[in-house]
Chains A and B, each alone.
Chain A
Amino acid sequence: NAGVTQTPKFRILKIGQSMTLQCTQDMNHNYMYWYRQDPGMGLKLIYYSVGAGITDKGEVPNGYNVSRSTTEDFPLRLELAAPSQTSVYFCASSYSNGGYNEQFFGPGTRLTVL
C-alpha cells in the first residue's frame, strides 16, 4: 500500500491564483482530513469528510473548498490565493466504525503565495 499520497510536493502561487491540492489514499479509509501547518505551529483542521459525498468544515475553512466524490480522493481547492495561505498542507485518513482510530498523514504540500 502507498498509504496517503499528496501532489504536488511544492508549489509557488501568485496572489489571486487558484490551485487544487490532490490527496489519495489506498487503505479504504472512510474518514479523510485536510490540515495546514504554519511555521513553528501545530496543525489546524481545514475540512474533513466522513465518507464519499459528505464534507464538513474544520477550524479554519475560509478560502478553501473540498469535494469527496470517491472513497480514495479528497482534493482541496484554493481560490484567490492570499499570502496568509502560505503553509504546509497535510492530508490524512483514518477508519472509523464509531470509535476513533489512528490518522495516517500524507507527506505534505509546501505552498508559498507571493
Chain B
Amino acid sequence: GENVEQHPSTLSVQEGDSAVIKCTYSDSASNYFPWYKQELGKRPQLIIDIRSNVGEKKDQRIAVTLNKTAKHFSLHITETQPEDSAVYFCAAVKAAGNKLTFGGGTRVLVKP
C-alpha cells in the first residue's frame, strides 16, 4: 500500500518568515495530493491540493510543488502569521481507490 512520510514533525518560525513542509510518497500510481490544516481540537480542513499533471499551484500565501519523478511534494507558506499556527498534514490518493493516506503531520508554531 501507499506510505507517506512527512518532515519536519515540528517547525517554529518567526512571524513574517516562510515555512516549508516536505512529504514523500511510495506509490507511483498516486495522483492527487491534498494538504490539510488542523487546529487544536478541530477537524482537518483542506487548504490546497495538487494533481499529478501539475507541477505547482499557488493560493495567496500558500503554494504546493510536486516532483513526480522523485515522488515528493512540498507545502510553502510565505509571510507567516500567528493564525497559521496549527498541525498540517499531507496526503496522497490513488484515484482508483479514493483513499487518503496521511503523513504523520507537522506542528507549526508561528512566534509573534
Contacts and interface: CB of A to CB of B under 8 A. Distances in A.
How extensive is the interface on chain A, given as a class? 20 to 34
Contacts of A99: 95
Interface string B78-112: 00000000000100010100111111110000000
Contacts of A96: 98
Interface residues of B, number: 22
Contacts of A43: 44, 89, 100, 102
Contacts of A42: 6, 89, 102-105
Which of A33, A48, A50, A105 is the most central at the interface, judged by chain B CB atoms within 10 Å of its CB?
A105
Interface string A57-87: 0110000000000000000000000000000
Interface of A: 31, 33, 40-45, 48, 50, 58-59, 90, 94, 96, 98-100, 102-103, 105-108
Interface of B: 1, 6, 31-32, 34, 42-46, 49, 89, 93, 95, 98-105
